[in-house]
Amino acid sequence: MPMRHVPKPATCQSASVAETTRQKDLRSYPHLLKFGLRVARAAARYDAQQGNPLVIRPARLTATEKEELLHLYKSPPKKLDYIEDMRAGLAGETCPMCGGQDPVTLDHFLPRATHTEFALLSYNLVPACACNSKRGRVVADAAHGTRILHPYYDACMNQPLFTCDFSPADHAPTFAIRLLLAQDHPQRANVGFHVQNVVLKTSFRTFLGKRWQRLKELPDDMLFGNRPHRDSMAQFKSYLDDLCASKARLEGANAWETVFYRSIAESTIAAWIFDNT
């Protein structure tokens, strides 16, 4: 359901990681024994600070510890099979990070290259789509005190966060993001940072452009059942609002599909559709 708030995993899996560090038949033994003794504390710190990249500083790990942790992530033994379960857990649904579709990779919310101590902890693993590789390692702007949103901790992701303004008469409209949170909302700046550094790094604008073109070419397919709701502009606007609400229930308040229908339900665009399709 974008950016969407999803339930935090039931456990951080620190116990599974600690067990793995003591497994003598793995190449990581004995290199991670000391790490195994402190992984529970690292997980508790992550949870207490809600994965906030502005607060959590990377731990001091040896080069060998980093290498072995990353190897365990890439080739997880049986005790770490939750990694594959998480990767497949939201297949076919909306990406929690960007609002796109089919999140079948795992995004290390705090990058594994910089925060390797969290590479195996479930609280730091978020199912994601191709945005995982496109956003890179940008998670915060310390100078401005802003950061990307965390799907496990930031409940604001369940509410409509942004829409897109554009001129419907343009042949190739430019889609401008408009945040919906109040100016004094404590998460407004973080939402803006997330949109710029996660959502807009994807093909989101291309998606909007193609949807708009399809609506102009096939309005009755894109707006199924709209004709009985065209007795007046007010009735048609109400139909679009209901359609957007339906998309939000199905896909999430900030899924790409929902944002598209929210955008065309804006009065000026709805009026253009009413008059021209």
**Bridge partner residues of 177 (DSSP):** 164
Q: pLDDT tens-digit profile of 144-165?
A: 999 999 999 999 999 999 999 9
- Token duo for residue 249: 């229930």
**Bridge partner residues of 147 (DSSP):** 140
Q: pLDDT tens-digit profile of 206-259?
A: 999 999 999 999 999 999 999 999 999 999 999 999 999 999 999 999 999 999
pLDDT confidence tier of residue 5, bands split at 50, 70 and 90: confident
Nearest to 215 by CA among 240, 192, 195, 238: 240
Q: In what helix (H) or strand (E) does residue 141 lie, and over which residues does it extend?
A: strand 140-141
Q: In what helix (H) or strand (E) does residue 100 lie, and over which residues does it extend?
A: none
Give the pLDDT score at 135.
Answer: 85
Measured in whole angstroms, how far is the alpha carbon of residue 51 from the centre of its chain?
14
% of the chain residues with pLDDT over 90: 96
Q: pLDDT tens-digit profile of 79-104?
A: 999 999 999 999 999 999 999 999 99
Give the pLDDT score at 1.
Answer: 43
pTM to 2 decimal places: 0.95
pLDDT confidence tier of residue 3, bands split at 50, 70 and 90: low
